[in-house]
């Protein structure tokens, strides 16, 4: 509890304690997440179902940019959820982090046009030119994807479009207020915007456009892997079980999601899960493919956020997933 209070005081975070089965001498694992999101449902399932054996897992939500990464680098958290590009950023500065398990295997964003501003064809260069786009803050993966796509369409993020960088939850309000014609959004905001007639159904589906993508992985310090491989294996085993349960038990997974997001309207929750399953949002087995990192790397390199060419084996360690898969 002292560590949790310290995190709240020093990082401006909100700690979310999750129910778990009582265990004797349970070891504590603290996972830092950048937002509380349906995308991380496999983690919430693993906690709710007691899949972490003799470990107790708690979550701290840190919404101030790189705070979730810093919590791990400083030793205050065991792992953070985020794209492995954060490991590459750290490596470029001399720190060593490793992604040890996959979670979200698709670029989890959609582009929606304000009512009356929908595209009439797929000439994206012409359509986006001169538009104002509401997107997530700079440095976040959704922001990087937008910059990557703009470059693919031969558009300059500073000269050819106007970017309003705001919180994910605020993109609907920005488009509703007619400050932007395009919203970069995730669920449940996609569905909320559609139902409020603020924008139409997504005209670009990034999960389908970009395919396998190392979007959200679980990342730990290399020092933790070397000093406490048993704890890392316990965590990875629980996560792989959570991923498998999600796909095999969709109704019960939806019940767990509802408990995590009690204020979300049931229709929004159902729509979010339906779209997520249809777009194969989550990893099926925890493996991060080389293709998934190649795409993620191309995005941040093209967006000029990652300067160095960091290889797969320098920031990703799939040995734990490979070892536990054989036992499940």
| CATH code assigned at 96 | 3.40.190.10
pLDDT mean over 59-81? 88
Note whether 311 and 218 are same-domain residues.
yes
Note whether 103 and 114 are same-domain residues.
no
Whole-angstrom Cα distance, residue 323 to residue 328?
10
Q: Which residue has the tokens 């569905």?
A: 191
Note whether 133 and 204 are same-domain residues.
yes
When divided into structural domains, the chain yields a total of 2
Task: Decide which of 210, 239, 262 is a domain's last residue.
Answer: 210
Per-residue pLDDT at 122 exceeds 50: yes
User: Band of the pLDDT at 25, cuts 50, 70, 90?
Assistant: low
Mean pLDDT, the chain, integer: 90
Note whether 220 and 302 are same-domain residues.
yes
Note whether 115 and 231 are same-domain residues.
no
What is the pLDDT, as a whole number, of residue 308?
86
Task: Decide which of 180, 210, 240 is a domain's last residue.
Answer: 210
pLDDT mean over 113-136? 96
Note whether 204 and 287 are same-domain residues.
no
Indicate left, alpha or beta for 197 from its phi (over 0: left) and psi (-120 to 50: alpha). Answer: left
Domain that holds residue 7: 2-107+211-325
pLDDT mean over 119-143? 93
In 39-130, where do the E strands start and end?
55-61, 79-82, 97-106, 110-113
Note whether 178 and 189 are same-domain residues.
yes
What is the pLDDT, as a whole number, of residue 19?
46
Task: Decide which of 210, 228, 251 is a domain's last residue.
Answer: 210
Note whether 26 and 40 are same-domain residues.
yes
Note whether 130 and 166 are same-domain residues.
yes
Per-residue pLDDT at 311 exceeds 60: yes
Note whether 223 and 79 are same-domain residues.
yes
Please name every residue paired with 176 in a beta bridge, in sequence order, or none if there are none: none
Note whether 173 and 223 are same-domain residues.
no
Note whether 176 and 201 are same-domain residues.
yes
């Amino acid at each position: 509890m002292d560590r949790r209070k310290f995190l709240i005081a020093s990082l401006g975070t909100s700690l979310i304690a999750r129910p778990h089965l009582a265990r004797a001498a349970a070891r504590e694992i603290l996972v830092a997440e950048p937002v509380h999101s349906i995308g991380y449902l496999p983690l919430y399932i693993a906690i709710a179902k007691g899949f972490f054996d003799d470990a107790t897992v708690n979550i701290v939500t840190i919404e101030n940019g790189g705070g979730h990464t810093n919590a791990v680098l400083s030793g205050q958290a065991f792992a953070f959820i985020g794209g492995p590009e954060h490991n590459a950023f750290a490596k470029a500065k001399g720190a060593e982090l490793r992604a040890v398990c996959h979670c979200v295997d698709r670029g989890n964003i959609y582009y929606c046009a304000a009512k009356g501003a929908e595209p009439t064809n797929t000439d994206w260069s012409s359509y986006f030119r001169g538009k104002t786009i509401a997107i997530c803050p700079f440095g976040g993966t959704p922001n990087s994807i937008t910059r990557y796509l703009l470059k693919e369409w031969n558009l300059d993020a500073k000269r050819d479009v106007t970017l309003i960088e705001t919180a994910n939850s605020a993109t609907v309000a920005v488009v509703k207020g007619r400050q932007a014609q395009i919203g970069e959004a995730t669920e449940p905001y996609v569905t909320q915007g559609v139902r409020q007639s603020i924008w139409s159904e997504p005209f670009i589906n990034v999960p389908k456009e970009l395919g396998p993508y190392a979007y959200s992985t679980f990342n730990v310090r290399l020092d933790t892997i070397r000093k406490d491989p048993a704890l890392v294996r316990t965590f990875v085993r629980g996560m792989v079980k959570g991923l498998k349960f999600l796909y095999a038990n969709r109704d019960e997974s939806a019940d767990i999601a509802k408990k995590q997001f009690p204020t979300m309207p049931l229709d929004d929750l159902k729509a979010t899960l339906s779209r997520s399953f249809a777009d194969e949002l989550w990893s099926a087995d925890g493996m991060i493919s080389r293709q998934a990192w190649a795409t993620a790397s191309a995005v941040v390199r093209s967006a000029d956020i990652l300067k160095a060419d960091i290889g797969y084996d320098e920031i990703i360690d799939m040995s734990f997933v490979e070892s536990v898969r054989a036992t499940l």
